[in-house]
Structure 1
Amino acid sequence: MRKTTVAIVAVTGLVAHVASAQNSVTLYGVVDNGLAYQNNGTTLGSSAQGHSLVKMSTGVWLGDRFGLKGSEDLGGGSKAIFTLESGFAGTNGASQYTGGLFTRQAWVGVTNAAYGTLTAGRQYTAYYTLLAPYSPTTWLTGYFGAHPGDIDSLDSLYRVNNSLVYLSPSFHGLTFGASYAFGGEPGSLNAGSTWSAGLQYLSGPFGIGAAFQRINNSTSGGGAWGAYSTTSNGGAQTAVSAINNGYVTAQAQQRVAVTAGYKFSPAWEVTASYSNVQYIPGANSTFRDTAIFNTLGAVLHFKPAAAWDFGAGYAYTRATKANGATNGARYQQFTLTQYYALSKRTGLYAAQAYQHASGQTLNNGAVVDATASIGDGFSGNPSSTRSQIGVGVGLVHRF
């Protein structure tokens, strides 16, 4: 009996060893909690006077998450791959979005070093993936450093349902990609769909990316964001802030962006970005003219030692005159970040930001003075005035 048991254990161990050589599954995650202060905050869409606010913040440096990712060797250089990733609030344990568990990412695909990668599910668009290496949020955090309201989708807020994404292998530093998301609206292939395409080129210390993205409202003719819209988060429209609140009934959103970077040394690097964002009205939209926002930004990253990281950024966003606004909205934002690594997986961080708004924008169909809303972490509590200051500190742990 003892010999039989030993044999079974040995065979089981051998099978497990063979399986692990061909397959891999990794559990990973992030918990990030801290404190945030803003000098003025009110409710989105409200004209009520704002007040200062101190609150416990979460997901500032890195979004709180846990997930599973894995691969299986299919032979011939091909692998099956998958990711299931759930977002949550580290302050109270609540799910990031209602109506699902793995709402950050849920996809499966096939990859081959010679032919590229094709994935299907809820995931980032090719637009984001190809531009992300030089996004302002790489060093500044999206919470404090995303371009105002993240209207240009250079932070990780825009995840797309029902999507196919293809990314090519690198051809002498050049990579291209495209994605398409099916809205699923009966009788219409285009309603609610999202599609994007882009290029990325890397050569030594220099890199550049350029991409296009279009997001269609599944509601015919525009209006309330439709349930079949592929960028919906639990039925809600993505990234609504004081910057674009007047244009949430658009028939479509369109983005063109370029990001680039140069690494001068192991300690110094700089990135820059330009984006053009358009909110295109339909017959049922509450605005009549296409609203256009142009944004220029730059970030300086300094890493003087292994444990330290510093970032400094500036962004300028300007809206064109339209929809009765005779003085287009303008937003200037300054952001600073500091990070100290306590270990490979744990660190302390701090961030500070200031934004000043001027000109006019729309709110509930009416022309109003533009008000400040820092990054994408203050979208639910924008300032009731032209200016806003935000400060935060926290602890982040990766596992």
Structure 2
Amino acid sequence: MRTAVCAAAVLCACLAPAAHAQSSITLYGIIDNGIAYTNSVASSIHAKGASRWSMATGFGSGDRWGFYGREDLGGGMAAVFRLESGFSGINGTSSQGGRLFGRQAYVGLSSDRYGTVTLGRQYDFTFDYVAVLMSWLQFGSIYGAHIGDVDDSFQTFRLNNTVKYEVSPFSGLKLGALYGFSNQAAGENGAGFANNRAYAFGLDYLRGPMHIVASYLELSNPSAGLATSTNPGGTVGDEYSGSTSIFYNAGFVERQRIYALGGGYAFGPATLNVIVTDTHLDYRGAHHLRVDNYEINGRYQVTPALTAGLGYIFTNGDGYTGSGAASFATGDHPKWHQVNAGVSYLLSKRTDLHFSAVYQRLAGDASVVAINVFGPAGEGRNSQLALLAGFRHRF
């Protein structure tokens, strides 16, 4: 009997590597903490602001940990999944409204020939394809995203209940399509299939030193995802409203359309990127707002370990004169200027020190400045400055 048991154990040990050789699960993460100085920050738009020194987290990359899994099914097919959790590195709390896997949570099938289809909570293509050319991801910090994140390039909100398809028809080109369900039964006053749903498309073309990206996202009744509204179980959850979401907080948004186009080119150690996003917001009461972001940024690889970059963003708003417009403008032509600067130094392949600065100034009819995540500068302030120094480790 003992001989049989030993033989079985040896057989299992020999077979186990073969049985699991085609499957893998990767544990990964980022933690990024540091010190921040803001020349003025307030609890609300109309409150008085004051300077602040603080500990902050998620400078260059939002803190996260997650699992990515892949199982080879044969014939070029594989099952894939990702569970990714966001958290604060300075107090340990969960991000994305306390969700366990609030950054991403999906499962799907991948084919070498036919592409990949995934289902769950996912990014749209503005983030997947276009944001990678923006200064806040290229070399800056998360605080350097476009004002109000009106184009969702920072992913203030992710999309729930989605089916996402990506395919690469030939080398260098990726195409994508996404649909997010409202998960709501038919009803009165607009409730039903289209209440808080989404659909999106994307293109990513990379050939040699040239990179071209484009995306489109349309949301129907995204404000319905707020807990006090009509469909918090739809594709946009309760993340739609935040302290710096100045355009979403201005009223119930019945439709949001985001067009984005970008291009980049590498000149040896230098890279130049240009991005344009065009966002249309339709508010309840037949009010409309258009917000265009124009960004140009450059990054230079000074040494293999040292990278520096500088970016400029011009934001131009037009059209909204409803009562909610008073929360960000005194007229229908608000404008903003923003400069992002950043330097990072690699201590190893996985660990770096980084420094960044974000300066934002209002113009035109704009009445508030609000650097991403930090919050508004306060009443009577026409500019805001944030200086940040952090230590980041990837695992």
Which shows bigger deviation, 308-317 or 197-206? 197-206
Structure 1 residues 11-54: Cα deviation after superposition (integer angstroms, max 9, x where no partner): 2322331133110001111111111110001123x412100011
SS in 1 for 2:11: helix
Which shows bigger deviation, 243-252 or 88-97? 243-252
Q: For residue 207 of structure 1, what is the amino acid of its counterpart?
A: H
- TM-score (normalizing by structure 1): 0.89
Name which of 264, 267, 284 aligns with 2:267.
Answer: 264
SS in 1 for 2:143: helix
* CA shift for structure 1 position 103: 1.0
Structure 1 residues 203-239: Cα deviation after superposition (integer angstroms, max 9, x where no partner): 211111111101222667x99574134121xx33156
Name which of 221, 224, 227 aligns with 2:232.
Answer: 227
CA gap of 1:327–1:195, structure 2 versus 1, over 3 A, is closer
* Aligned counterpart, 1:35: 35
After superposition, residues 132-147 of structure 1 pair within 5 angstroms as 132-147=131-146
- Rounded Cα–Cα distance in structure 1 between residues aligned with 2:222 and 2:360: 33
CA gap of 1:168–1:255, structure 2 versus 1, over 3 A, is same
Name which of 336, 349, 352 aligns with 1:344.
Answer: 349
Same amino acid, percent of matched pairs: 32
Structure 1 residues 288-323: Cα deviation after superposition (integer angstroms, max 9, x where no partner): 421110110011011121211111110000101431
Q: For residue 329 of structure 1, what is the amino acid of its counterpart?
A: P
* Aligned counterpart, 1:90: 89
After superposition, residues 58-97 of structure 1 pair within 5 angstroms as 58-97=57-96
- TM-score (normalizing by structure 2): 0.90
**Gaps in structure 1 of 5+ consecutive residues:** 361-368
Equivalenced residue count is 380
* Aligned counterpart, 1:247: 250
CA gap of 1:341–1:182, structure 2 versus 1, over 3 A, is same
- Rounded Cα–Cα distance in structure 2 between residues aligned with 1:141 and 1:19: 44
* CA shift for structure 1 position 70: 0.7
Structure 1 residues 132-168: Cα deviation after superposition (integer angstroms, max 9, x where no partner): 3323332144523211222112224331110011011
CA gap of 1:57–1:359, structure 2 versus 1, over 3 A, is same
Partners of 1:218 and 1:228 within 8 A in 2: no
- Rounded Cα–Cα distance in structure 1 between residues aligned with 2:6 and 2:347: 45
* CA shift for structure 1 position 4: 5.0
1:389 equivalenced with 2:391 (yes/no): no
* Aligned counterpart, 2:325: none
Partners of 1:347 and 1:395 within 8 A in 2: yes
CA gap of 1:358–1:66, structure 2 versus 1, over 3 A, is same
Q: For residue 382 of structure 2, what is the amino acid of its counterpart?
A: R
Partners of 1:126 and 1:166 within 8 A in 2: no
- Rounded Cα–Cα distance in structure 2 between residues aligned with 1:240 and 1:135: 22
Name which of 303, 315, 322 aligns with 1:305.
Answer: 303
SS in 2 for 1:326: strand
